Structure formats: structure tokens, C-alpha cells
Amino acid sequence: MSFFTELAHQYIDGEWRPGSGSWDIIDFNPYDGEKLASIPVATAVEVDQAYRAAERAQVPWGETNPYARRTVFEKALRVIEDREQEITETIIAELGGTHVKAAFELHLAKEFLREAMQLALRPEGRILPSPVDGKENRVYRLPVGVVGVISPFNFPFLLSIKSVAPALALGNAVVLKPHQNTPICGGSLVGKLFEDAGLPPGVLNVVITDIAEIGDALLEHPVPRAISFTGSDKVGRHVATVCAASFKRAILELGGNSALIVLDDADIDYAVDAAVFSRYVHQGQVCMAANRVLVDRSVEKEFTEKFVAKVRTLKVGDPSDPATHIGPLINSQQADAVTALVDQTVEAGATALLYGGTEGNLVSPSVLTGIATDSPILGQEIFGPVALIVPFDGEDEAVRIANDTPYGLSGAVHTADIERGVRIAKRIETGMIHINDGTVHDEPIVPFGGEKHSGSGRLNGESMIEAFTTQKWISVQHGRSRFPF
């Protein structure tokens, strides 16, 4: 796979070169342990060089006609389409993503590039009235300048593009740091995509590194005015704290503990399909995944039997096999953590309707029920193939259980009465929720983001303009002002 040899470098100021660190980031295939790439780590020196290159390149890029900027995204889309098979294979190898997952990620990445084309033309200025005679108030939309983007390991290609493309489209320059487990899909592949699309040198830079090497250099550097971070709430809290100390804008897309609610009048077969996909897509390594499946007690037995029967049909194994539904978790630490969490919950009294075994990084699906209301597993994000079935009695209890978590990202309500579902959805403390559908959705023009520990700010559509531009008031006095002295 040529990407792993071609792109095992830093990308700074239009040049592909090694980092100057004394150790390498090793990129492994999580399914078979194959070494895919060895990348000399970037130090704080390269971080500074990347930000300084971005600073120099941003002004001319921001002054470029937005119609000309738009052509870069048109070309980037064609690059993806021309190399789609190769990118698919890279996602499967580096992430352990299945063919279904890779297709989902690539489809959305292309949709976000199409939206970036439009976004380049969307910022609008305004002229506002003034109480002062002869004064004209102009409000301009300008790029924030340089943006730091930190992307996660679960959907690295998509989630890098999701912040990088709109930031570039709106006239900013970007320094991208991918997760150390996905340096190619989340980092250098994105750099190569835009290089091939004709983006000027320095406008996008990629640094492959780790906090063990650079600490907070990426956050504390004086050049960036905004940081877009996608990852855990623990790290997100630290990002927010560091950014606040230097008055940087922080856009935080963090974890979730979504509930999929099945009401007494739901289409049970359809709800089962939605719940299985929402829980087990990409091995459950999705922030919007339905950790908790809340089921009205009157339909609990029927739903649970059908849910478990469908989960039993999921094939676990080699993600390169198109028939595989569940591939490996990203690394052994994650596999061990999920396995231990299931073991602890069962030892504490929960019933395992399915008790998934672990082989290497492959963790088979588990389905747990009879979970104590104070069990830690109910309140946390489970980044693995574990479903929790929780019965409830009536709408009020369903809402209470759904909200009994520090997170508030996504969710779903299944019911035959659409307006009943909407009424309940309004009571759930989440940034997004879906009626008669799954919990895992993202669309380029709708506001994406969470409440509580699931983040702050929104991405997508008009929210991108708020995230990556600033407003500037320029007043023009026609005639002479009168001053009191």
C-alpha cells in the first residue's frame, strides 16, 4: 500500500520531510499487528515551523478570490474519486475499519468537500444603521487567521477534512495534528490530497507527533487563534483550559453516551435494526453510538430477544473481508479496557445475554442487562462493541434515565407517533437527536455538536462560519463628527 511508504513524513511549508525527534511513531495494522509505517516524530521545533509557515501563507490565501479558493476543493474531490479504492484499503489497514465503515467515511468526506465549495462563497458583510448622522457601519467577515486541528483515530480522514476543509475555504491556514494511531489517514493523506489539489505551500501543514514529545506546544503557540479538537472529554477539558489562558477560540467535539429509546408503540423489528447498527458500527468506536438502549418494559422481552438474535449474526474478524461486520479495536489498550469493563459489570451482578470474548484486538459483541442503576458503566462512554439494555416504565422515566449522564451528544426515539417522539426528544439534553432512526448521523449543513461534557460550539453549515471567521466593525463618518471637547 503505497500511502504508508509515500506519506510517512511531516508536511511543512509544502515540503515532505522527517521530524527531528529522537524516536519514531510506529503505525500498526490493529487486526494483524503488521507494521505499516515508521515516522520520525515532530518536535516543538517542527510545530513552530508549521505554525510560522501557516502564518506567512494565510494572508495571501485569505486575500485570494473565493471563487479561486473553491477550485481547490473541486480538485480535491476528484482526487478522492480517482484514488477511492486505495484510500479504502488504507482505512481498512490503519483503522481496522470494515468495508461498510470505509464507504461511510469516504461518502461523508466527499459531502463535506462539496459543502466547502459552497462555504467559500457564503460569508456576507453587513451595513448597519447608526444613531450618528452621516455614519456608515460596515461589518466584515474575516478569517480568524491560523487554525490548529487535532483529529481522532476513529474517523480520522473524515474528521480531519471536516474541520480542515471549511477552515481553508473561509481563508484560514491550518496546522493539522492527527492521532498517533492514525497518522496517515488522519494526517499526511489529507496533506497529500490538498497538495495534489493545488493548495499553495504552507496553507496546510501536517505534524505527526505526540504530547509525550511536544507537551502543549500545539495549543500554547502564539500563532493559532482557534483550535478545533475532536476526542475525549478528558483531553477536551485540558484543551479548553489551555486555550482559555491565551484567549484562543476552542471548538470541542467530544465523547457521548447516547440513548436509543424504544417506546411501547415502536416498530420493534425496525428499532432492533436501528439499535444494532447504532451500537456496533465500527466496533462501537463512534462518539454518537447508542451505548444505552432504553426499552419500555411492555416490549422489553420481544425487543431483547430479537436484538440478541440479530447481534449473534454479526461476523467478527478480518476487516478486509467484505462480509465482516466487526473488526478490531484500535489497539490492545482499548481492547483490554473494554474487556475489563464488561467483566467488572458482570461480576457486579449484571446479566450477560451475550458475553463477547477477546482475541488480540478483536472483541466480540456483548449484550448486558439487569445493570444496577448506580453501575459506572451506565454513565460513561464505551468505545467498544458492548450494548446495555435498560428497561423503563413510561416516558418520564425514559427521559430521566437518558439524561442521567454527564454527556449529551446524540440519541434516538422510536415511536409510531412522530409528535410524541418530538416532545420526548425536546426533553433529552443532547445537541442532536433523531426520531425513528439510528443515533449515528452527520450531514454537512446541519449543526453538529453536543451539550454538557460532549463539547462546546458547533460544526457544519453556517456554524462553520461562526467557528472559523471573526467579525470586524469598520465605521465610516461621512462629513464631520462633533466632539464634546
**Which residues are known catalytic residues?**
253, 287
Cβ neighbors of 152 (< 8 A, separation 6 or more) are 159, 179, 186, 230, 231
Three-state DSSP at 87 gives: helix
C-alpha 22 chain-centroid distance? 30
Q: Per DSSP, what are the bridge partners of residue 456? A: 252
Phi-psi region of 134 (alpha: psi -120 to 50; beta: other; left: phi over 0): left
Phi-psi region of 43 (alpha: psi -120 to 50; beta: other; left: phi over 0): beta
**Quick one: cell of 243?**
486555550
Cα gap 65→71, rounded to integer Å? 10
Is beta strand 135-143 parallel, antiparallel or unpaired with respect to 469-477?
antiparallel
Type of residue numbered 123: P
Residue recorded with cell 461486520: 325
Q: Using CA atoms in the order 230, 384, 286, 263, what is the torsion angle rounded to 10 degrees?
A: -130
Three-state DSSP at 285 gives: coil
The DSSP symbol for 378 reads G
- In order of 69, 145, 292, the CA distances from 63 in angstroms are 10, 11, 48
